[in-house]
Amino acid sequence: MTKEQDQPKLKLVKKEQQLTIKQKAFVDEIIKGKLGSYKEAYAKAYNVKLTNKGSIPKWVEVEASRLMWRPTNTKLCCGSIVQTEQRSGHLS
């Protein structure tokens, strides 16, 4: 065996990245719960220009979904929602 084969393959584990200002705004909008969807929260946080028909572009739904399911964002949203529910007495 060569030296390269004897050594284990190591992989660098990244720390969780900090949220950008817009990502934080997106998460905050979801936590507030005043908007009807992730798509609306994304459009508001990222100042998305509406289509000529006055609706949110279709690509926003894909980007909002990708952003929502990043581990950091999911933890923040779920944790905040659970805390809110516990304070209001909906969860025991």
The one-character DSSP state at 45 is: H
pLDDT (0 to 100) of residue 54: 93
State pTM to two decimals: 0.62
- In angstroms, the CA 48 to CA 36 distance is 16
User: Could you tell me if 41 and 26 are in contact, meaning their C-beta atoms sit under 8 angstroms apart?
Assistant: yes
User: Could you tell me if 21 and 27 are in contact, meaning their C-beta atoms sit under 8 angstroms apart?
Assistant: no
Q: What is the pLDDT of residues 68-80, one digit of tens each?
A: 777 665 566 555 5
What is the three-class DSSP state of 35? Answer: coil
pLDDT (0 to 100) of residue 38: 86
More confident position, 86 or 76: 76
In the predicted model, is pLDDT for residue 29 greater than 70? Answer: yes
Q: Kindly report the CA angle at 15 between 29 and 82, in degrees rounded to 5?
A: 35
The structural domains of the chain, with segments of one domain joined by +, span 19-87
In the predicted model, is pLDDT for residue 4 greater than 80? Answer: no
